[in-house]
Amino acid sequence: MGASLSSLTESESTANGRPGLGDIPENCVACVFMYLTPPEICNLARLNHAFRGAASSDSVWDSKLPSNYHHLLDVLPQRIYEGLSKKDIFAFLSRPVPFDDGNKEVWLDRISGRICMSISTKAMLITSGEDRRHWNWFPTEESRFHVVAYCQQVWWFEVSGSVKFPFPPDIYTLTFRVRLGKFYKRLGRRVCNFEHTHGWDLGPVRYELFTSDGQHAVSEYSLDDSDQDDANVYLKRGDWIEYKVGEFIVSKSDPATEVRFSMKQIDCTHSKGGLCVDSVSVAPSDLKAGRRKGVSKYQ
Protein backbone atom coordinates (compact mmCIF):
# COMPACT_ATOMS: atom_id res chain seq x y z
CA MET A 1 0.00 0.00 0.00
CA GLY A 2 2.74 2.47 1.01
CA ALA A 3 4.84 1.61 -2.05
CA SER A 4 1.93 2.07 -4.44
CA LEU A 5 1.09 5.46 -2.93
CA SER A 6 4.66 6.71 -3.08
CA SER A 7 4.86 5.81 -6.75
CA LEU A 8 1.98 8.19 -7.52
CA THR A 9 3.39 11.35 -5.96
CA GLU A 10 3.65 14.65 -7.77
CA SER A 11 7.24 14.06 -8.85
CA GLU A 12 6.49 10.84 -10.67
CA SER A 13 3.99 9.72 -13.31
CA THR A 14 2.65 6.37 -14.25
CA ALA A 15 4.03 4.57 -17.29
CA ASN A 16 0.93 5.17 -19.40
CA GLY A 17 0.66 8.86 -18.52
CA ARG A 18 -2.49 8.62 -16.48
CA PRO A 19 -3.01 11.20 -13.68
CA GLY A 20 -1.56 10.44 -10.25
CA LEU A 21 -2.30 11.61 -6.74
CA GLY A 22 -0.39 14.82 -7.38
CA ASP A 23 -3.00 15.83 -9.97
CA ILE A 24 -5.92 15.81 -7.53
CA PRO A 25 -7.09 19.40 -6.85
CA GLU A 26 -6.23 20.62 -3.38
CA ASN A 27 -9.85 21.55 -2.58
CA CYS A 28 -10.95 17.98 -3.38
CA VAL A 29 -8.29 16.58 -1.08
CA ALA A 30 -9.48 18.98 1.64
CA CYS A 31 -13.04 17.66 1.30
CA VAL A 32 -11.78 14.11 1.83
CA PHE A 33 -9.65 15.17 4.81
CA MET A 34 -12.74 16.39 6.64
CA TYR A 35 -13.73 12.73 7.09
CA LEU A 36 -10.34 11.64 8.43
CA THR A 37 -8.78 11.87 11.88
CA PRO A 38 -5.97 14.37 12.59
CA PRO A 39 -3.26 11.64 12.71
CA GLU A 40 -4.43 10.31 9.33
CA ILE A 41 -4.35 13.81 7.86
CA CYS A 42 -0.81 14.43 9.10
CA ASN A 43 0.40 11.13 7.64
CA LEU A 44 -1.12 11.82 4.23
CA ALA A 45 0.29 15.35 4.18
CA ARG A 46 3.70 13.84 3.39
CA LEU A 47 2.59 12.46 0.03
CA ASN A 48 2.75 15.55 -2.19
CA HIS A 49 2.22 19.30 -2.47
CA ALA A 50 -1.57 19.13 -2.89
CA PHE A 51 -1.95 16.95 0.16
CA ARG A 52 0.33 19.21 2.20
CA GLY A 53 -1.67 22.24 1.20
CA ALA A 54 -4.98 20.59 2.04
CA ALA A 55 -3.60 19.40 5.37
CA SER A 56 -2.95 23.03 6.32
CA SER A 57 -6.37 24.31 5.26
CA ASP A 58 -8.32 26.20 7.94
CA SER A 59 -11.55 24.64 6.67
CA VAL A 60 -10.18 21.14 7.39
CA TRP A 61 -9.04 21.92 10.93
CA ASP A 62 -12.10 23.99 11.71
CA SER A 63 -14.09 20.78 11.27
CA LYS A 64 -11.82 19.04 13.82
CA LEU A 65 -12.09 21.72 16.50
CA PRO A 66 -15.08 21.73 18.89
CA SER A 67 -17.63 24.42 18.05
CA ASN A 68 -16.72 26.43 21.15
CA TYR A 69 -12.95 25.93 21.09
CA HIS A 70 -12.54 29.67 21.69
CA HIS A 71 -13.58 29.07 25.30
CA LEU A 72 -10.41 27.03 25.76
CA LEU A 73 -8.42 29.93 24.33
CA ASP A 74 -10.10 32.34 26.74
CA VAL A 75 -8.10 30.89 29.64
CA LEU A 76 -4.86 31.89 27.87
CA PRO A 77 -3.25 35.26 27.14
CA GLN A 78 -4.26 36.35 23.64
CA ARG A 79 -0.63 36.84 22.58
CA ILE A 80 -0.07 33.06 22.83
CA TYR A 81 -2.57 32.10 20.11
CA GLU A 82 -2.95 35.32 18.13
CA GLY A 83 -2.21 34.76 14.45
CA LEU A 84 -2.14 30.97 14.68
CA SER A 85 -3.76 28.90 11.93
CA LYS A 86 -6.55 26.48 12.82
CA LYS A 87 -4.09 23.61 12.45
CA ASP A 88 -1.71 25.23 14.91
CA ILE A 89 -4.58 25.96 17.30
CA PHE A 90 -5.59 22.29 17.22
CA ALA A 91 -1.99 21.22 17.87
CA PHE A 92 -1.73 23.72 20.73
CA LEU A 93 -5.02 22.69 22.37
CA SER A 94 -4.20 18.98 22.07
CA ARG A 95 -1.68 19.63 24.84
CA PRO A 96 -2.98 20.25 28.39
CA VAL A 97 -4.04 23.85 28.95
CA PRO A 98 -3.82 24.74 32.67
CA PHE A 99 -6.30 27.06 34.38
CA ASP A 100 -7.54 27.85 37.89
CA ASP A 101 -4.00 28.48 39.18
CA GLY A 102 -2.75 25.38 37.37
CA ASN A 103 -4.96 23.04 39.40
CA LYS A 104 -7.14 22.13 36.41
CA GLU A 105 -6.23 21.19 32.86
CA VAL A 106 -8.30 20.90 29.69
CA TRP A 107 -7.24 19.59 26.30
CA LEU A 108 -8.52 18.15 23.03
CA ASP A 109 -8.31 14.45 22.33
CA ARG A 110 -5.83 14.17 19.46
CA ILE A 111 -7.93 11.74 17.45
CA SER A 112 -11.51 12.94 17.95
CA GLY A 113 -10.94 16.60 18.85
CA ARG A 114 -13.29 16.27 21.83
CA ILE A 115 -12.72 17.95 25.18
CA CYS A 116 -11.14 16.18 28.15
CA MET A 117 -10.39 17.59 31.59
CA SER A 118 -8.47 16.74 34.73
CA ILE A 119 -8.87 18.35 38.15
CA SER A 120 -6.19 18.13 40.83
CA THR A 121 -7.02 17.33 44.45
CA LYS A 122 -5.46 20.73 45.14
CA ALA A 123 -8.62 22.26 43.67
CA MET A 124 -10.90 20.24 45.97
CA LEU A 125 -12.17 20.61 49.52
CA ILE A 126 -10.86 17.92 51.88
CA THR A 127 -12.43 17.51 55.30
CA SER A 128 -9.62 18.00 57.88
CA GLY A 129 -7.27 18.52 54.94
CA GLU A 130 -5.28 21.19 56.80
CA ASP A 131 -4.58 18.90 59.75
CA ARG A 132 -1.25 17.20 59.09
CA ARG A 133 -2.15 14.44 61.53
CA HIS A 134 -4.75 13.29 59.00
CA TRP A 135 -3.68 14.47 55.55
CA ASN A 136 -0.40 15.20 53.78
CA TRP A 137 0.74 16.22 50.32
CA PHE A 138 3.69 14.66 48.61
CA PRO A 139 5.25 15.16 45.19
CA THR A 140 5.25 12.42 42.58
CA GLU A 141 5.90 12.00 38.88
CA GLU A 142 2.91 9.64 38.68
CA SER A 143 0.47 12.55 38.74
CA ARG A 144 0.01 15.01 35.89
CA PHE A 145 -0.12 17.70 38.61
CA HIS A 146 3.06 16.34 40.27
CA VAL A 147 1.44 16.19 43.72
CA VAL A 148 -1.18 13.97 45.39
CA ALA A 149 -3.11 14.05 48.67
CA TYR A 150 -2.41 11.26 51.14
CA CYS A 151 -4.95 10.32 53.80
CA GLN A 152 -3.01 9.01 56.79
CA GLN A 153 -5.91 8.41 59.18
CA VAL A 154 -9.40 9.90 59.51
CA TRP A 155 -12.79 8.97 60.86
CA TRP A 156 -14.76 11.23 58.52
CA PHE A 157 -13.46 10.88 54.96
CA GLU A 158 -14.78 13.37 52.42
CA VAL A 159 -13.27 14.94 49.29
CA SER A 160 -15.40 17.21 47.10
CA GLY A 161 -15.04 19.74 44.33
CA SER A 162 -16.69 21.41 41.37
CA VAL A 163 -15.98 22.77 37.92
CA LYS A 164 -17.95 25.15 35.72
CA PHE A 165 -17.11 24.93 32.05
CA PRO A 166 -18.86 25.30 28.65
CA PHE A 167 -18.54 21.62 27.71
CA PRO A 168 -19.56 20.95 24.09
CA PRO A 169 -22.64 18.74 23.65
CA ASP A 170 -21.69 15.15 24.46
CA ILE A 171 -22.05 12.37 27.05
CA TYR A 172 -19.31 12.62 29.67
CA THR A 173 -17.97 10.25 32.31
CA LEU A 174 -16.48 11.49 35.58
CA THR A 175 -13.96 9.37 37.50
CA PHE A 176 -11.82 9.63 40.64
CA ARG A 177 -8.19 8.44 40.41
CA VAL A 178 -7.04 6.89 43.70
CA ARG A 179 -4.74 4.22 45.05
CA LEU A 180 -4.23 2.33 48.27
CA GLY A 181 -0.88 2.74 50.00
CA LYS A 182 1.88 5.30 49.89
CA PHE A 183 4.62 4.97 47.30
CA TYR A 184 8.12 6.33 46.95
CA LYS A 185 11.41 5.50 45.28
CA ARG A 186 14.27 3.68 46.97
CA LEU A 187 17.52 3.16 45.11
CA GLY A 188 15.71 3.98 41.87
CA ARG A 189 12.96 1.41 42.45
CA ARG A 190 9.30 2.11 43.13
CA VAL A 191 8.25 0.93 46.60
CA CYS A 192 4.73 0.79 48.06
CA ASN A 193 4.06 1.15 51.78
CA PHE A 194 0.75 -0.09 53.19
CA GLU A 195 1.57 0.67 56.83
CA HIS A 196 -1.38 3.06 57.26
CA THR A 197 -3.80 1.28 54.89
CA HIS A 198 -6.80 0.18 56.92
CA GLY A 199 -10.56 0.52 57.24
CA TRP A 200 -11.47 0.49 53.56
CA ASP A 201 -12.68 -3.11 53.73
CA LEU A 202 -15.26 -2.26 56.42
CA GLY A 203 -17.60 -0.24 54.23
CA PRO A 204 -17.95 1.14 50.70
CA VAL A 205 -16.95 4.60 49.54
CA ARG A 206 -19.81 6.61 48.07
CA TYR A 207 -19.23 8.68 44.94
CA GLU A 208 -21.67 11.31 43.69
CA LEU A 209 -22.01 13.96 41.03
CA PHE A 210 -24.58 16.71 40.50
CA THR A 211 -24.96 19.05 37.54
CA SER A 212 -26.43 22.54 37.37
CA ASP A 213 -29.30 21.26 35.20
CA GLY A 214 -30.42 18.67 37.77
CA GLN A 215 -28.61 15.49 36.75
CA HIS A 216 -27.44 13.20 39.53
CA ALA A 217 -25.35 10.03 39.61
CA VAL A 218 -24.17 7.91 42.52
CA SER A 219 -21.99 4.81 42.85
CA GLU A 220 -20.36 2.83 45.65
CA TYR A 221 -17.17 0.76 45.70
CA SER A 222 -15.20 -1.15 48.27
CA LEU A 223 -11.62 0.09 47.94
CA ASP A 224 -10.00 -2.87 49.67
CA ASP A 225 -11.21 -6.46 49.24
CA SER A 226 -8.01 -8.03 50.51
CA ASP A 227 -9.94 -10.62 52.52
CA GLN A 228 -11.86 -11.86 49.48
CA ASP A 229 -10.76 -14.53 47.03
CA ASP A 230 -10.90 -12.34 43.96
CA ALA A 231 -8.54 -12.47 40.99
CA ASN A 232 -8.73 -8.67 40.73
CA VAL A 233 -7.97 -7.93 44.38
CA TYR A 234 -4.26 -7.39 43.73
CA LEU A 235 -5.15 -4.49 41.44
CA LYS A 236 -6.55 -2.56 44.38
CA ARG A 237 -3.26 -2.33 46.26
CA GLY A 238 -0.37 -0.38 44.84
CA ASP A 239 -1.92 0.54 41.46
CA TRP A 240 -3.81 3.63 40.41
CA ILE A 241 -7.49 2.90 39.87
CA GLU A 242 -10.11 5.08 38.21
CA TYR A 243 -13.50 4.71 39.90
CA LYS A 244 -16.41 5.72 37.75
CA VAL A 245 -18.76 8.12 39.52
CA GLY A 246 -21.29 8.36 36.69
CA GLU A 247 -22.24 10.05 33.45
CA PHE A 248 -23.84 13.37 32.60
CA ILE A 249 -25.22 14.71 29.34
CA VAL A 250 -24.52 18.15 27.91
CA SER A 251 -27.04 19.23 25.29
CA LYS A 252 -25.69 22.75 24.74
CA SER A 253 -22.57 24.60 25.81
CA ASP A 254 -24.32 27.87 26.67
CA PRO A 255 -24.85 28.37 29.54
CA ALA A 256 -21.79 26.64 31.00
CA THR A 257 -22.41 23.39 32.87
CA GLU A 258 -21.42 23.25 36.53
CA VAL A 259 -20.54 19.80 37.87
CA ARG A 260 -20.17 19.09 41.59
CA PHE A 261 -18.60 15.80 42.69
CA SER A 262 -17.56 14.02 45.86
CA MET A 263 -16.23 10.81 47.36
CA LYS A 264 -16.97 10.04 51.01
CA GLN A 265 -16.89 7.39 53.69
CA ILE A 266 -18.45 8.94 56.79
CA ASP A 267 -19.13 5.85 58.88
CA CYS A 268 -17.47 7.07 62.08
CA THR A 269 -17.61 3.67 63.79
CA HIS A 270 -14.11 2.99 62.46
CA SER A 271 -11.10 4.91 61.20
CA LYS A 272 -9.60 4.56 57.76
CA GLY A 273 -6.36 5.64 56.12
CA GLY A 274 -3.46 4.87 53.81
CA LEU A 275 -5.12 6.23 50.63
CA CYS A 276 -3.78 8.52 47.88
CA VAL A 277 -6.22 10.75 46.00
CA ASP A 278 -4.79 12.19 42.80
CA SER A 279 -7.45 13.80 40.63
CA VAL A 280 -10.84 13.76 38.95
CA SER A 281 -11.13 13.37 35.21
CA VAL A 282 -13.96 14.24 32.83
CA ALA A 283 -14.00 12.86 29.29
CA PRO A 284 -16.48 11.70 26.64
CA SER A 285 -17.82 8.34 27.76
CA ASP A 286 -16.78 6.34 24.72
CA LEU A 287 -13.23 7.68 24.99
CA LYS A 288 -13.12 6.60 28.64
CA ALA A 289 -14.31 3.14 27.70
CA GLY A 290 -11.84 2.65 24.85
CA ARG A 291 -8.61 4.23 26.07
CA ARG A 292 -7.66 3.05 29.53
CA LYS A 293 -4.31 1.38 29.01
CA GLY A 294 -2.13 0.88 32.08
CA VAL A 295 -4.84 2.05 34.47
CA SER A 296 -7.35 -0.21 36.15
CA LYS A 297 -10.98 0.88 36.21
CA TYR A 298 -14.05 -0.03 38.18
CA GLN A 299 -17.58 0.75 37.08
pLDDT recorded at residue 185: 74
**Which string of DSSP letters, residue by residue, matches 68-120?**
TTHHHHTTS-HHHHTT--HHHHHHHHTS-EEETTTTEEEEE-TTT--EEEEEE
pLDDT recorded at residue 231: 43
d(CA 89, CA 10) in angstroms, rounded, equals 29
Tell how strand 115-120 and strand 275-284 pair up.
antiparallel
Which residue type is seen at 177?
R
* Model pTM score: 0.84
pLDDT recorded at residue 24: 81
pLDDT recorded at residue 296: 52
Tell me the per-residue pLDDT of 5-56, one tens digit each, with 9 for 90 and over: 444 454 444 555 676 666 788 888 889 999 999 999 999 988 888 889 999 9
Which residue type is seen at 144?
R
d(CA 166, CA 255) in angstroms, rounded, equals 7
Distances (CA, A) of 5 to 25, 32, 53: 17, 16, 17
Residues of the chain with pLDDT under 50: 1-8, 10-13, 229-234, 292-295
Closest among 93, 92, 22, 18 to 53, alpha carbons compared: 22
